[in-house]
């Protein structure tokens, strides 16, 4: 009986962990301003606009017109990394 109880609790714990690991990632495009935002949660207002927190800037954004696309976790993580500035070519550095 103890073995069955331990197995049951182990399975329940694993299911709970797996359920918490999932998530949705979105890229939101503002067609009017050509900006892209990245978020994990989108709320739609009664007027049809969407509100979300931009994960890059931390700002809460509301857009009346937008394009929303669900993306992979890898694409989301890549977008969150700070972009490195391109270094000058070696020829310009030596002058």
Length of the chain (residues): 95
Q: Quote the DSSP letter at residue 81.
A: S
Query: Quick count: other Cβ atoms within 10 Å of Cβ 53?
Result: 17
- CB-based contact 9:21 (threshold 8 Å): no
Band (86; pLDDT cuts 50, 70, 90): low
pLDDT at residue number 82: 79
Q: With 0.85 as the threshold, say if the pTM is over it.
A: no
Band (14; pLDDT cuts 50, 70, 90): very low
Is the pLDDT at 78 greater than 60? The verdict is yes
pLDDT at residue number 95: 54
pLDDT at residue number 87: 57
Classify domain 24-81 by CATH number.
Answer: 2.30.30
Is the pLDDT at 88 greater than 70? The verdict is no
């Amino acid at each position: 009986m103890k073995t069955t109880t331990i197995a049951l609790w182990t399975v329940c714990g694993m299911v709970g962990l797996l359920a918490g690991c999932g998530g949705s990632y979105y890229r939101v495009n503002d067609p009017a301003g050509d900006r892209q935002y990245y978020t994990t949660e989108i709320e739609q207002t009664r007027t049809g606009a969407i509100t979300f927190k931009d994960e890059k800037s931390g700002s809460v954004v509301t857009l009346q017109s937008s394009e929303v696309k669900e993306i992979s976790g890898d694409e989301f993580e890549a977008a969150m990394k700070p972009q490195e500035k391109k270094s000058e070519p070696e020829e310009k550095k030596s002058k």
